[in-house]
Amino acid sequence: MFRKILVANRGEIALRVVAACRELGVRTVVAHSQADRDGLPARFADETVCIGPAPSRHSYLNRLAVLAAAETTGADAVHPGYGFLSERADLAEGCAAAGIAFIGPSPEVLRLLGDKARARQAMGAAGLPLVPGTEPVEDAAAAARAAPEVGYPLLVKAVGGGGGRGMRLVEAPDRLPEAFRAAVSEADAAFGDPRVYLERYLGGARHVEFQVLADGQGRTVHLGERECSVQRRQQKVIEEAPAPGLETDVRERVGGLVAAAARSVGYVNAGTFEFLVDGDGRFYFMEVNPRVQVEHGITEAVTGVDVVKTQIRIAAGEPLAVAQDDVRLDGHAVECRVNAEHPETFTPSPGAIRALVLPGGPGVRVETAAHADHMVSPFYDSLLAKVIAHGRDRAEAVARMRRALGMMVVDGIDTNLALHLRILDDPDFLAGRLSTAFLDRFLADGATAA
């Protein structure tokens, strides 16, 4: 096991990694920006090191600063969390060159999966069904020539993208040139890679993802699936596990394909394979997120497997302690992402939290780095807390979530708590009638009703 791990992230995920390390008896160093020097991750870590000023490009996205922090503090491993540098092959390479373990896949796998076009090819060769699409297209004229074969509506997607950035929905040919230019520009700014490709847009599809764990001894297991269809602009809002209405035989079949696909590319550590599911129940591979996910906690709730501690153990060379036949799904879990944002305009709401009351009780878990007098920074993502409710079945999990959110108090800033409570009372949500179009329709109906 490692002696000391540098946590190259912030907020709730940094605190989550620190907690996992404490349970494993591993010392931690939190690499923080100047804005986060008094945050809870820094307070609870064994050591801290400042890696730059508040803007993430000068701190959390500064690969050389992270590597220097790991070397100067004597860390023998780096945990990148999610976002920021978590999918960067050059960070993994830098760690290897310095004799430091990177808690994630190899640089070669990160390069493969970070290129969405190459990842599609590899996953298709491994037997996963693909959404109809193209190779990277050079310019708007080439996109216009390829679009009829893909079919409208379609998505222009960044090759190196993620999180909805570098992505544009195109419903008609006359909208393609503008959307192409916008996607290229955003992709270049966000990822340093202007390449894009076209992919058919499956309107009304569900977004379902499978959690995978793979060790260095060739064992790969999946921990079932998560439903992530409640999202706005490709950003997830509510997730749950397992996916409502998914039959056991479908879970076993698709999960088996996913595990085999992970083995085929030499995947090691935790990862998530994301799919769109059409109205006929057909799965189509979208992408792999080669890191821990924001929503890993709901999988932990229904399987009892600690994903973060398992990540660390795998990176330390230990074999998986769980086999596929050991994985059992116990009940149902729902996660609501509580964001510091206006509930109607969705604009960020930075500022000082005057009072914070977190819910508890049976089946409720809250992951947050916020506290009373905490300053929500304008420099970072608006995620404030993840509230997870676990119950014997979906109805109990939703009831516990409704109770938990109703007891949560955040004073001083705006949050989307009211939006979550409205969604939890929606008949379509309660019936599990979900798709990636759910939230847009829900918000439109609310606006009409108002």
Give me the residue spans of the domains in the chain.
4-103, 132-200, 206-449
The answer to whether residue 288 scores a pLDDT higher than 60 is yes
pTM over 0.95: no
pLDDT digits (tens, 9 = 90+) for 267-281: 999 999 999 999 999
Q: Residue 352's closest CA among 307, 270, 412, 437?
A: 412
The residues, ordered by sequence, that sit 6+ positions from 200 with a Cβ below 8 Å of its Cβ are: 131, 132, 133, 150, 151, 153, 154, 155
Active site positions, annotated: 291
132-200 classified as CATH 3.90.1150.10: no
Average pLDDT over residues 437-447: 88
pLDDT band at 112 (very low <50, low <70, confident <90, very high): very high
- Helix ranges (H only) for 220-270 are 248-264
The β-bridge relationship of strands 383-391 and 332-339 is antiparallel
Q: Which of 85-99, 163-177, 247-261, 330-344 has the lowest mean pLDDT?
A: 163-177
The answer to whether residue 247 scores a pLDDT higher than 90 is yes
Average pLDDT over residues 414-422: 97
Report the top-level CATH class of 4-103.
alpha beta
The answer to whether residue 53 scores a pLDDT higher than 80 is yes
pLDDT band at 449 (very low <50, low <70, confident <90, very high): very low
Q: How far apart are CA 310 and CA 100, in angstroms?
A: 18
Average pLDDT over residues 21-44: 97
Q: How far apart are CA 91 and CA 114, in angstroms?
A: 13
CATH of the domain spanning 206-449, picked from 3.40.30.10, 3.90.79.10, 1.10.132.20, 3.30.470.20: 3.30.470.20
